[in-house]
Structures are given as C-alpha cells and as structure tokens.
Amino acid sequence: MATIIIGAILLVATVDLGILGAAARFSILGNENKAQSNALAQSCIQQASAQLLIDGSYRGGLTTTVPFGYCYVFPFVVDVPTAGSVTLRVQAVVNQAVTNLVVVKNYNAIHISPLPQSAPIISPLPASIETGSIIEVPTLP
C-alpha cells in the first residue's frame, strides 16, 4: 500500500514539473516574440521616416511583410500635437505578439518641402508625447 501511495506522489510531482516546464518554455517564447515584434515596429518607424525623407508626399498606410511577421504603418497625422509635426503610428505583429508604437517628429527636420494638409484625426493621441520620443500604446485604431 505504501508503494502505491509513494508511486502516486512521484507521478503527481513528475506531471506537475512537466507542466511547469512547458509553461516556462511558452513564457520565454512569448517574451522572444514580443522582443521581435518591438524590433520590427522600431524598424518600420525608421523605414517610414526614410521614405518620408525621400518622398515628401508619402503618407503611410502600407504593410511590410517579413518571414516572421508583418508591420503596418498607419496613415500619418500632420500638425498633431503641434504645428509642423508629423505623427507616425505603427503596429507590428510577430506570432500573435503585438507592438503599437507612436512617434512624433518635426516635419521640417525630416523633409524640406512644404507641409501638406492632413486627413482628419481618427482618434486622440496621448497628450504626453514629446517630439522625437517613441512610446508604446496599448491599441491603435
């Protein structure tokens, strides 16, 4: 009888440790996906800034697909939060890990052509964002 009880305890302990190990592996995988998603979003901001520098009429609204995920550059918002600024919003997805980034740049420091008119604002942006800073936001429209 004692052998059965000890065997059952060992079996439960083994199954419990196996479940904990699997959970730890998935947690690490989720962290890696989030880090890759963040890196992809950062690179999309850099790509959108470079494209705006090359072509002053570029206004975003494009998706970049890579083997491990994709990144969407939302249409730019001009003159928000201040006149002469352009707000870049991107969303990157890698294996269901999502990163939403917002950056405000001085338009005249990016490109020398005149500032075009903006489309109406779809949703309010965070009030605390400063020009040149990149912040992660929970959702984008």
Q: Give residue-wise pLDDT tens across range 114-134.
A: 445 554 444 444 444 455 566
Rounded to an integer, what distance in angstroms lies between the CA atom of residue 28 and that of residue 34? 10
pLDDT per residue over 86-114, tens digit each?
888 999 999 989 999 998 888 766 644 44
pLDDT of the residue at 55: 80
Closest CA to 28 of 18, 36, 17: 36
Quote the longest CA-to-CA distance of the chain: 87
Rounded to an integer, what distance in angstroms lies between the CA atom of residue 28 and that of residue 10? 27
